[in-house]
Amino acid sequence: MKSVAEICSDLIRFDTTNPGSAERPAAEYVATLLADAGIEPVVFESAPGRTTVVARVDGDSSDALLIHGHLDVVPADPSEWRLHPFSGEIEDGLVHGRGAVDMKGTCAMTLATVLGMAARGERPRRDLVLAFLADEEATGDYGSRYAVTEHRELFDGVSQAISESGAFSVPAGDARVYPIAVGERGTAWMKLTAHGVAGHGSMPAVDNPVATLVHALSRLASHEWPVRLTPPVTAMIEAIAEITGQPVDLDRVEAEIPRLGPLGALLHGLIRNSANPTMLEAGYKVNVVPSTATAHVDGRYMPGLRAEFLQTLDELLGPKVVREFVNLEDAPSAPYPSPFFTELSAALVAEDPAARPIPYVMSGGTDAKSFAGLGIDGYGFAPLMLTPDLDYNGMFHGKDERVPVAGLEFGVRVLTRLLA
């Protein structure tokens, strides 16, 4: 049987850039591994090449747990990487390449866990539904959204789910903190359009849409969104204070973040809404004032703060800028505290006695949003023990992405404890 590092390396070698090469070859690889282990996969496409694999493993309880991951990755420019981003090279105890962290490493841990259990004849404590999805790095229209609408029956009986962006180690003195995600910020990707009067670039502009849009974007980019502490984030801060023995003033959290070091870095994207201009397009000739200008904005809002976010956004943009949503998704949350959170924590502590699990809210979004629509509680739990020099969050969509082999092996042991 292949090791978890070998599976991770194999998956990285499939260029599943989104937009770009599609997930079909990687999905076929996953389906073959499952079928060879006696686990029957269901393979389907939402469009040519946009392929998802789902499989069910019978357990001792029909209350099923979903483990989902995505096979697509964001683009990578080989000229910016020390090793080729699709080499999957294993060097100095690290697996290198695009997707090592986000999230082919996690898919490899899931596969190595269930394949290992199958080889040993071990039956999981509850039914497992495994989903290896397309298109998470865009809107999920070709992946999780398609799966939950067109193949809803594959997720029957699922009450809880685990996936990416949680349970990674963060150094904290003699302890290691493992943030387990119990929610994530909502997504509001928007296209902004300003209309005006076309004219000659040498003449005073009657109504220049480029200027209108740029002024609006400047107001948006310079806006200081107020700190809004949701209950899970408050619980996270209180847990950090207890673990470190350093009280944190909740009334001035932002000022407290720097002294908390790596633990403080976890809070940066969790204490307020945000809206970042990311794309801008206007005009076709230097001496022509165009009639329209467009921009795209990546907006994120905390659970429960959608109405406040949109109201502030409209005030900043002003009446002459029209917004339309490219992708609008609610901010899902899972119960905390809960018996399942306790189970997840226990699996970590059993493998790492120095582990200190805490609740966490993800600043970005995952496919958990789609499954939340089916009433499935999603937790970010992709256990990974890291060396202190690795900036886990910095490698998401960054260059020279890599993951420790020992960290992947740790994750397999934790998942096995959770599932067996």
* Per-residue pLDDT reduced to its tens digit, 184-239: 999 999 999 999 999 999 998 899 999 999 999 999 999 999 999 999 999 999 99
Q: What angle do CA 333, 145, 373 make, to 5 degrees?
A: 35
Residue 349 is predicted with a pLDDT of: 98
Which residue type occupies 122?
E
* Per-residue pLDDT reduced to its tens digit, 125-184: 999 999 999 999 999 999 999 999 999 999 999 999 999 989 999 999 899 999 999 999
CATH 3.30.70.360-classified regions of the chain: 184-329
| Topology of domain 184-329, CATH | Alpha-Beta Plaits (3.30.70)
* CA dihedral over 398, 402, 403, 404, signed as positive or negative: negative
Bridge partners of residue 55, in order along the sequence: 41, 130
Q: Is 251 a residue of the active site?
A: no
As a whole number of angstroms, the distance between CA 356 and CA 346 comes to: 10
| Bigger pLDDT: 246 vs 317 | 317
* Per-residue pLDDT reduced to its tens digit, 52-81: 999 999 999 989 999 999 999 999 999 999
* Per-residue pLDDT reduced to its tens digit, 33-57: 999 999 999 999 999 999 999 999 9
- Picking from 324, 361, 354, 347, the residue whose alpha carbon sits closest to that of residue 416 is 347
Distance set, CA 4 to CA 38, 163, 209 (Å): 18, 17, 53
Residue 361 is predicted with a pLDDT of: 94
CATH 3.40.630.10-classified regions of the chain: 4-165+366-419
Q: Which two tokens stand for residue 290?
A: 């165009």
**Which single residue is written with the structure tokens 């948006």?**
220
Q: What is the 3-state secondary structure (H, E, C) of 260-279?
A: HCHHHHCCCCCCCCEEEEEE
| Topology of domain 4-165+366-419, CATH | Aminopeptidase (3.40.630)
Give the count of alpha carbons within 13 A of 233, CB side only. 23
As a whole number of angstroms, the distance between CA 293 and CA 76 comes to: 29
Give every CB contact of residue 31 below 8 A, 6+ residues apart in sequence.
41, 43, 53
pLDDT > 90? residue 409:
yes
Give every CB contact of residue 301 below 8 A, 6+ residues apart in sequence.
185, 186, 188, 273, 308, 309, 331
Residue 397 is predicted with a pLDDT of: 86
Q: Is 91 a residue of the active site?
A: no
Q: Which two tokens stand for residue 344?
A: 């997840």
Give every CB contact of residue 340 below 8 A, 6+ residues apart in sequence.
160, 377, 379
Contact 51, 135 (CB under 8 A): no
User: To the nearest whole percent, how much of the chain has pLDDT over 90?
Assistant: 91
**Which single residue is written with the structure tokens 């080989």?**
78
Question: Residue 253: which H helix or E strand, with range?
Answer: helix 253-256
* Per-residue pLDDT reduced to its tens digit, 102-133: 999 999 999 999 999 999 999 999 999 999 99
Active-site residue, selected from the candidate residues 10, 23, 102, 136: 136
Active-site residue, selected from the candidate residues 72, 137, 352, 367: 72
Which residue type occupies 165?
S
Helix %, strand %, coil % for the chain, to 5?
35, 25, 40
Q: Taking the CA atoms of the chain, what radius of gyration do you get in angstroms?
A: 23
Residue 373 is predicted with a pLDDT of: 95
As a whole number of angstroms, the distance between CA 124 and CA 186 comes to: 33
pLDDT > 90? residue 396:
no
